[in-house]
C-alpha cells in the first residue's frame, strides 16, 4: 500500500509558495508514520515568475524528501479582472476540474488537501472527493481575524470603510483605524473586496486553518478566533499556529554577496536595512526623498533599491542608480551607506551582527524573518495587507517604530519623516528602545516555539496526528 500523501495547492507568489512548501516539509518530518507530499502546480502567469518557480521545484526535488510535483494544465486566464486578488481567485476557480482530476488519479491515498487562502473555491473539490481540507494562511493571525470578521463587517458598515466613524472592531486586536485596512478593502464595491469577503466566509468550512504565526506573538487574536468572536459565535475551524515558517536555504560554499561582505566592515547593530520585498520599487521622486532622509539621519544604511518593472513584467527591475538617485549622494555617503540595486539575500543580511533596524514594506514573511533575528522595524506599507501589518507591529506587538505614510499619495514618505523614523529606530529614543527590547523578546519566543516542546512544535504535532487519525478512520 502506497504511503498516504498530503496534497498541497500553493499560489505561485514567493510569499505564498515557499512558506507552504516549508510547512509541508515540516509536516513530513513531524509525522511519526510514512507520509509523502504531492504539490499541485498551477502554471505561473508570467515567464519571469515561471522561471523562479522552476528554480524552487528543482531545489526541492534535489532535497531527497518524498515530494512530488504535478503540473496542472494551463487554463485561459480571466482577462477582465480588475485587480490581483480577483485575478488569482478566479484563475484558481478555473483550475477546479484539473485539480479534481489530478487528485483522483494519484496512486497514493490522499490524507489531506492543504490549500492557499486564495483557493477556497476548491473546498468544493475536497468535499466531492471526501478529503479533509485545511487552509494554509500565509499572513498574520490578525489578518485572519479580519478575514473571518469581514462578511459581517461588510453588512454592518454601510459606507466605505474609510468614511466610517471611529475604528474597525477586529476581536483580539486594538481598535483598527480604517486607514490601516488592507488595500483590497478600500473600495467595498470592488471585486477584490467582494472576493476577500467570499474567502472569509468559506474559511469556516475547512477542517482547520494552519497559520504562519506563533501563539506567543498573537495570543489574544488566536483566542478571539477560537472563541468564535470573529465569526459571530459560529464555530471557527481548529487553528494550528505552526510559525514562524521560514525557509532557510542550506549554506553553500560560495562567497557571500558583496553587500554581506560590506556589512562585515561595519560596527555591531549600527546599520539600518531598507528593503521592500519582491514587489516593492520606487520612482525617482520618492527615491530622492529616501536619499535625503538617510543622508540627514547620519546613520549607516544598506538600501536595496529596485526600479519599476520592465514593460510587460510584474516584478521590479534592477535599479538604474544614475536615474533614481540625487547627484553626489553616493559620493557623500560613501563608506557609511551602500545602495544595492538588485535582489538581496534578506535573511543573510538580517542575521548579520551589524544589523540594527529594518525599514520594511511589512510583508508577513519579512516580518517573521526580522523577528526571528530580533531586528526592530519601521514599517512602510506599500500594498496587500501591509497597512494592517504596520498597525499591528506598532500598536499590538510593540516591535516597530511608527512612520507616517501618505496613503493618498501612493504611500509617499517625505525625507524628514524617514529621517525621524531612522533616528528613532537606531538611536536613543524611548520608542526605539522599547521596539528593540520587544524584538529581542520575540526572537527568544520564536525560537522556543519551534523547538521540541514549544507551542508551534506542539501545533504541528496535533495537525499531523489529526491527519493520520482521519486516514485510519477512512481506511
Element spanning 89, H or E = helix 84-94
DSSP letter for each residue of 109-137: PEEEEEEETT-GGGHHHHHHTT--EEEEE
Q: What is the mean pLDDT of residues 358-364?
A: 98
Percent of the chain with pLDDT over 70: 99
Instruction: Output the pLDDT for position 30.
Output: 85
Q: Band of the pLDDT at 63, cuts 50, 70, 90? A: confident
The pLDDT of residue 4 is above 80: yes
CATH of the domain at 462: 3.40.50.2000
Q: What is the pLDDT of residue 70?
A: 97
Whether residues 15 and 137 fall in one domain = yes
- List pLDDT tens digits, range 94-131: 999 999 999 999 999 999 999 999 999 999 999 999 99
- Whether residues 438 and 470 fall in one domain: no
Give CA–CA dist 463/206, Å, rounded.
13
Whether residue 146 contacts residue 122, with contact meaning beta carbons closer than 8 Å, is answered with: no
Residue with the bigger pLDDT between 234 and 219: it is 219
The tally of domains found in the chain comes to 2
Compare 436 and 28 and report the one with higher pLDDT: 436
28 and 55 inside one domain: yes
Instruction: Output the CA torsion 57→349→279→340 (10° steps).
Output: -120
pLDDT at 217: 96
- Count each helix (H run) and each strand (E run) in the chain, helices first: 18, 14
For residues 198 and 325, membership in a common domain is answered with no
Q: Say if residue 254's pLDDT is above 70.
A: yes
Distance CA 217, CA 456 (A): 11
Q: How far apart are the first and last CA of the chain?
A: 11
Nearest to 358 by CA among 375, 338, 336, 382: 375
Does any domain span residue 51?
A: yes
Rounded CA separation 58/70 (Å):
13
Burial of 455 (0-12, 13-18, 19+ CB in 10 A): buried
Same domain, 287 and 191: no
Asked if pLDDT for residue 195 goes beyond 70, the answer is yes
Q: What is the pLDDT of residue 340?
A: 98
- Nearest C-alpha neighbor of 135 from the set 6, 5, 9: 9
- Under 8 Å between Cβ of 412 and 406: yes
Residues 334-349: tens digit of each pLDDT? 999 999 999 999 999 9
Q: To the nearest whole percent, how much of the chain has pLDDT over 90? A: 85
Q: Which of 45, 28, 250, 5 is nearest to 131 (CA)?
A: 5
Q: Is residue 326 part of a domain?
A: yes
CA distance 50 to 86: 20
Residue predicted with more confidence, 311 or 431: 431
Alpha helices in 174-298 (DSSP H): 191-203, 219-226, 258-263, 284-297
Asked if residue 340 and residue 410 are part of one domain, the reply reads yes
- Please indicate, yes or no, whether residues 183 and 327 belong to a single structural domain of this protein: no
Is there a domain that residue 369 lies in? yes
The answer to whether 420 touches 352, Cβ cutoff 8 Å, is: no
| Pair 457, 412 in one domain | no
The answer to whether position 95 is within a domain reads yes
pLDDT at 253: 67
What's the chain's Rg over C-alpha atoms? 22
Q: What pLDDT score was predicted for residue 471?
A: 82
Asked if residue 282 is part of any domain, the answer here is: yes
Domain membership flag for residue 49: yes
Q: Tell me the three cell numbers of residue 112.
A: 489531506
Burial 362-397 (b: 16+ CB within 10 A, else e): bbbbbbbbbbbbbbbbbbbbbbbbbbbbbbbbbbbb
Q: Does 253 map to a domain?
A: no
Say whether both 435 and 457 belong to one domain: no
The mean pLDDT of the chain is 95
Would you say residue 251 has pLDDT above 70? Answer: no
Cβ neighbours around 252 below 10 Å, total: 6
- Cβ atoms within 10 Å, residue 438: 19
Task: Find, among 248, 222, 176, the residue nearest to 19 by Cα.
Answer: 248
Residue 309 pLDDT greater than 90, yes or no:
yes
Asked whether residue 197 falls in the same domain as residue 58, the answer is yes
Same domain, 44 and 135: yes
- Catalytic residues, which ones? 16, 116
What pLDDT is stored for residue 48 in this prediction?
83
β pairing state of 306-307 and 317-318: antiparallel
Please say if the pLDDT value at position 475 is more than 70. no
Q: Residue 150 domain-assigned?
A: yes
Note the pTM of the prediction, 2 decimals: 0.96
The answer to whether residues 128 and 78 belong to one domain is yes
Enclosing domain of residue 262: 258-447
Amino acid at each position: 500500500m502506497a504511503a498516504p500523501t498530503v496534497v498541497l495547492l500553493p499560489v505561485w507568489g514567493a510569499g505564498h509558495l515557499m512558506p507552504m512548501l516549508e510547512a509541508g516539509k515540516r509536516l513530513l518530518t513531524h509525522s511519526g508514520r510514512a507520509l509523502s507530499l504531492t504539490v499541485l502546480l498551477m502554471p505561473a502567469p508570467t515567464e519571469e515568475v515561471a522561471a523562479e518557480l522552476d528554480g524552487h521545484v528543482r531545489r526541492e526535488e534535489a532535497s531527497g524528501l518524498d515530494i512530488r510535483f504535478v503540473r496542472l494544465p494551463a487554463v485561459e486566464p480571466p482577462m477582465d479582472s480588475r485587480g490581483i486578488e480577483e485575478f488569482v481567485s478566479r484563475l484558481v476557480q478555473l483550475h477546479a476540474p484539473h485539480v479534481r482530476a489530478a487528485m483522483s488519479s494519484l496512486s497514493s491515498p490522499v490524507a489531506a488537501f492543504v490549500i492557499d487562502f486564495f483557493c477556497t473555491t476548491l473546498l468544493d473539490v475536497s468535499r466531492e472527493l471526501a478529503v479533509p481540507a485545511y487552509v494554509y494562511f500565509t499572513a498574520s493571525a490578525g489578518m485572519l481575524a479580519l478575514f473571518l470578521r469581514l462578511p459581517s463587517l461588510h453588512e454592518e458598515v454601510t459606507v466605505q470603510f474609510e468614511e466610517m466613524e471611529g475604528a474597525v472592531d477586529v476581536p483580539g486586536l486594538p481598535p483598527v483605524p480604517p486607514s490601516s485596512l488592507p488595500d483590497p478593502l478600500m473600495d467595498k464595491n470592488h471585486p477584490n473586496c467582494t472576493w476577500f469577503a467570499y474567502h472569509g466566509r468559506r474559511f469556516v468550512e475547512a477542517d482547520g486553518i494552519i497559520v504562519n504565526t506563533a501563539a506567543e506573538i498573537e495570543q489574544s487574536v488566536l483566542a478571539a478566533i477560537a472563541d468564535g468572536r470573529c465569526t459571530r459565535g459560529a464555530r471557527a475551524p481548529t487553528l494550528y499556529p505552526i510559525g514562524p515558517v521560514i525557509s532557510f536555504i542550506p549554506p553553500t560554499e560560495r562567497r557571500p554577496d558583496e553587500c554581506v561582505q560590506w556589512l562585515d566592515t561595519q560596527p555591531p547593530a549600527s546599520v539600518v536595512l531598507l528593503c521592500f520585498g519582491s514587489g516593492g520599487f520606487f520612482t525617482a521622486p520618492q527615491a530622492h526623498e529616501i536619499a535625503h532622509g538617510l543622508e540627514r539621519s547620519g546613520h549607516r544604511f544598506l538600501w536595496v533599491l529596485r526600479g519599476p518593472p520592465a514593460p510587460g513584467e510584474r516584478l521590479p527591475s534592477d535599479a538604474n542608480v544614475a536615474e533614481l538617485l540625487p547627484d553626489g549622494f553616493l559620493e557623500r555617503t560613501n563608506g557609511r551607506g551602500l545602495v544595492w540595486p538588485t535582489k538581496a539575500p534578506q535573511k543573510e543580511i538580517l542575521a548579520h551582527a551589524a544589523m540594527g533596524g529594518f525599514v520594511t514594506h511589512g510583508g508577513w514573511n519579512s516580518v517573521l524573518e526580522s523577528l526571528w533575528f530580533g531586528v526592530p522595524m519601521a514599517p512602510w506599507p506599500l500594498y496587500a495587507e501591509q497597512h494592517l501589518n504596520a498597525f499591528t507591529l506598532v500598536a499590538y506587538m510593540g516591535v516597530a517604530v511608527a512612520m507616517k505614510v501618505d496613503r493618498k499619495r501612493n504611500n509617499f514618505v517625505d525625507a524628514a519623516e524617514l529621517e525621524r523614523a531612522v533616528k528613532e529606530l537606531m538611536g536613543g529614543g524611548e520608542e526605539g528602545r522599547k521596539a528593540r527590547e520587544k524584538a529581542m523578546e520575540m526572537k527568544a519566543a520564536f525560537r522556543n516555539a519551534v523547538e521540541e516542546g514549544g507551542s508551534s512544535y506542539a501545533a504541528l504535532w496535533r495537525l499531523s496526528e489529526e491527519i493520520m487519525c482521519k486516514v485510519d478512520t477512512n481506511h
